[in-house]
Every structure is written in structure tokens, then in C-alpha cells.
Amino acid sequence: MKRTTASPGISFMALAVSFLWIKTYIAYKVNFNIDIENWRQELILFINPLSFLLLIFNVSLFLKEKWKNVYVLLMSSFLTTVLFANIIFYRFFNDFLTIPVLFQTSNMSDLGSSVTELVNPADFLYFVDLLLLVVIKYIKPAFLASPEYTGNKKVFLLATSGLFCFNFGLAEAERPELFTRTFDREILVKNIGTYNYHLYDMVLQSKSSAQRAVADGSKLAEIENYVRANREVPNEELYGIAKGKNLIMVSMESTQSFVINENVNGKEITPFLNRFLKESYYFNNFYHQTGQGKTSDSEFIVENSLYPLGRGAVFFTHSQNEYRGMPEILNEKGYFTASLHANNGSFWNRNLMYKSLGFKRFYDINDYQVHAGNSVNWGLKDKEFFSQSIAHLKEMPQPFYAKFITLTNHFPFLLDERDRSIDEYHSDSKTLNKYFPTVRYTDEALRQFIADLKASGLYEDSVIVIYGDHYGISENHNQAMGQFLGKEITPFESVQLQRVPLIIHIPGQEGKTISKVSGQIDLRPTLLHLLGIKTSGTIEFGSDLFSRGNLELTVLRDSSFITKQFVYTRDTCYDKRTGQLTEKTYCEPFIENAKQELDYSDKIIYGDLLRFYGERNQKISK
């Protein structure tokens, strides 16, 4: 006769839940840099994995006996994979995975050494419990309860529901309006847990996917009014000073401002840039504003003067949108527009996105001679890239806009010994140690490129812009960064480390350092005004960097912001002069403004609102 009851023991489900709970909490403390301020936050962090795990594993209570343990084992494997993927992603990006990032699979074939560099042997300890579960499932030790033993289902469900509500109640009490005012994924994970966060991310994905379907042109009116109210008058002395000139822009991979005018092992890190900025306008308070899209996000910001998305890369998620990109505007003014990048055209979906932005030509890997001798890490070395690109520049009709994207200074910062001009730094961070030689290599490549421009006769007829695209050293290397900089890396200092170089060289203009707080979103209106092109008929959130009256407020994608006097990050206000904590009331006047800009930009992208812009202008003109 078939048994209907069994003696109690430790259930297979309880073992699986315990293993996952313990290793998730270990990951929180060891692999994720989650800031804990009090015992309540620690309690929330401790229980939040359990509230989800009990919910998802309780499904096994309603399955047939032969499928109960199979379900538990499969779910354990899946959630372990999710946890491990987050650990690897966080190790470099200091962020958590989102659904849009998971769909960026076309990039995976190019990641290669970057992923292997991020995996540590100790990481495989996170999979040991799965092996134990498989062994336990098949040997059925005496302490294991039979699959048919489920105890009291009602008690399980009530306990699970109670814990779930307790977790979310504590989270809401500790962080009011958690789901409506939070851009920072770390805050979400800290309060609701990694797995619940991914459920929430699925809700956000569904919501964002629906926004385009219900969007109409009327939603643009409020955004247009906001943009007009905040638009500044261009600097009369510099407006149109470079009219008719070529525009050459270089995006420096992973280059942060802390390397400028600094030495390592007694040698300059960027000797060429240190000289070149003295002949140019140099902005030393210029911040990158990228999100999960990194280099592609910086391109998106610069070309559109819009913010990137908080989740995923716009280049992937919304490449078919209607944009009013800088290449399209310059095309209308008689420019030839091109982007040059010696990588696969499909990487970051550039081959599709560039068409939406208006580029006439994309010089990709097929336009370069690439082989093992002139390549390292992610592809063609920067010196060879610039050298081969001169021929492409010479064939372009003038005036032209040419954008270059460098590669060599990319994580994991690999470089052949023969190409090193400075030695590695000495710290506990291999990543930071290897960073300086590759930065120096790119600096030398730029020196060669400028010399070639002069030899080709293009130098005097071109505005040359050099800027950093995003950080190269994440917060996971703060201890080593503190050693190099000689100070503790606080949240305030972490924001300051988001500064990247911006150098604008204008023929006939003397060099000058400008300390105005600014960001990548300000670059497009600045350049268009230098070329004598009005921007009053466009929607953009940036301001002309040479304008004398614009508000110094730079908003980062995680909703941190910087003003002339304050830095706001992680719900905390800092005095910019001293770096010390100050009253939050000083930052409050800017908090809503920062949130509003990000919200407006998100609405434009998710709703594809710029497809209605020309239509609205036609109706207004009538």
C-alpha cells in the first residue's frame, strides 16, 4: 500500500533553501560592495534572500512526489547561475544585471579575456552545494525526509507570506518610496534582495515596453517647456568661431581624469595630453554620465544630449527610435559624417544605431588591416588604428565630422611588453597596476595622431575634441586607488573619480583651464555652437560649456549629482570644497530637478517621443 505519511526529517527543499540563503548572504558581504549604516539594514539584508526563496520553493509542495526534488534541484541551479552572473558583472561594472543587459548577447563573443579575468577560482565554491544536493538526492541519507512529507502546507504558506510582508515592511520603513524614487540598484538589492530585485526588473521591463505603444505627441509639450526654460544664451565671443571647420572627436576608452598631470614610478602617465591641454580648452570638472551601456552610452549622450537609460544600453534596446543626432544635424549643414572604430560593426549594435543617429559612413574592422601582430586584447592597437585612419580622413569630403573610438585601454588592460613605456603600478589590485601602461600607450598614440594630422594639413582646419568615455577603475578597487591617491575613497571621492578628461582644441585659440561643473550631455550644444549651428530647435538637456550663465548641475545616471558647492550621492549631501558630510537641506533644491531630468529623458526614449517632434513643430508653425 502506498504511504501517505512519512516521519519528519530535514526536507530536500529546506536544505536547498538553506544553502542558497547562506551563499547569497555571503555574496552580499564578500562580492557586493553594499553599504550598511545600521542594524536594521543588516537585518533586512540578512532576511531578504529567504523571503524570496521560501516563496519560489514552496511551489514544490504542490507538485507530484516524483517532481518535487527535481524542481528544487533545477531551481537551485538556476538561482545559483543568476547569483554567479551578478557576481561577475558586479566585479567590473559595480552594478547588478538587468533584463536588457541579458539580451546584449551579441557582445559576448567579443568579451573573451575580460570575462576570464573576472572569474576567480574561489567563485566555484558557490556551486559546491549543488553537487551536495545531487549526491543527497540519490543516496537518500537517513536524515532526509521523504519527498511525500510536506508537513503543514498552510503553516508554510502563512510563514512565507508573513516573512515576505515583514521584509518589505522593514524596507519601506527604512527607505520610504523605495520603488518610486530609487534609481540606484544597490539600494533595491539591499532592501528587497537580489532575486526580488530581478522580479521587479521584469515588471519595469514590461512597463517600459508598453510605453511606446501608448505614447503620443502631447507628452512632448511639458518636456519642451522644461528644456526652453533651462536653455542658456551662447557665448557671443565663441559662437561660430569654428564655422566650416572639420570636427574630429576622439573617445578615449576608460580614461579618467586622475591620470592627468600625474606620475607613476617617477614617470608621467600622460605626457602628451599634459602638454596638449595647455594649448586647448581643458575642462577639469567634466564627468561621464554613462550607465550600463558604458562606451555606447557615452556615444549616445554626446550625439543626442539625452541621458542614457538606467537599465541596459540604448544602443540595444531602442536603436530603431527616431533621434535628432548630431550627425543628422551636421549632414544638413553640408558635413560628411563618419565614425571610425576597428571592431565588429555589430558590437554594441553600432551598425544599426549609427543609421538612426545619421552617420553617413561607419569604418569598422573591415576597413582596417588587422592581424595578430598589430592587435592586443580587444583588437587593433591604438597607434595602428590612428595610423591607418589618416588615409580614411584624407578621402573624406570636407568639412567632415569624424569620431574615433579607441580600444587599447580597455579592461583587462593587456599590453605587449614591447609596447610598454612605463612599468606597472604596485598594489593589491592587478587591474589598477596594469591600467597605467595602457593609458600611457593611448597617450602616445594620440601624440602620433596629432603629428599625422599636422603633416596631412588637416590640423589647422579642424576642431579636435578628446574626452574620456567612462571609468576604467571601478569601486571594487577603492583600496588600491586610495593607496595611489594617498587618501580614503569615500562615496564623495568615488563621485569625484567619475571625472573624465575633456579637451577642446580650436585653431587660433589659446589654452585655458575651465573648472565649470559639466558632463558629457553638455558636449553637443557646445560643439554645435562653436560651429555656428543653432540648437534652439532641438530637445537637449545639455548646456553650452562656454555660456556664462548656465546652472552648474551635472546629473549622473544613478541620480547622484554635482553642483558648484555640493555633491549628492547615496542619499547623502557632501560639501564639494571639503568632501565632508553636510546638511541634506543644502542638496534638496537640486534633488527634484535631477530626478525630473532623468524622468523626462527616459520618457523620450521609452516612448520614442522624438518621432512626434517634427509633427508638433509643423502644427505650431501653422
Residues that are catalytic: 295
Axis crossing angle, helix 12-30 with helix 65-93, rounded to the nearest 10 = 0
Say which DSSP state 472 is in.
S
Distance CA 69, CA 14 (A): 11
Amino acid making up residue 400: F
For 386, the grid coordinates are: 590612428
Residue 436: half-sphere exposure toward Cβ, Cα within 13 Å? 27
Q: Which residue is it, cell 567619475?
A: 498
What is each CA distance from 156 to 45, 51, 65, in whole angstroms? 22, 12, 17
For 426, the grid coordinates are: 604596485
| Residue 401 CB-density burial (10 A; 0-12 exposed, 13-18 middle, 19+ buried) | buried
Distance CA 601, CA 597 (A): 6
Residue of 567, 508, 519 lying closest to 545 (CA atoms): 519
- Give me the helices (H) in 290-378, please: 294-304, 314-317, 326-332, 350-357
Q: Give the angle subtended at the CA of 197 by the CAs of 132 and 168, to the nearest 5°.
A: 100
Query: Please, what is the end-to-end C-alpha distance for the chain in angstroms?
Result: 86
What is each CA distance from 255 to 14, 40, 472, 498, in whole angstroms? 48, 39, 6, 10
Distance CA 259, CA 272 (A): 12
Q: Which residue is it, cell 571594487?
A: 476
- Give me the helices (H) in 536-612, please: 588-606
- State whether residue 103 is helix, strand or coil: coil
Residue of 80, 76, 62, 65 lying closest to 24 (CA atoms): 80
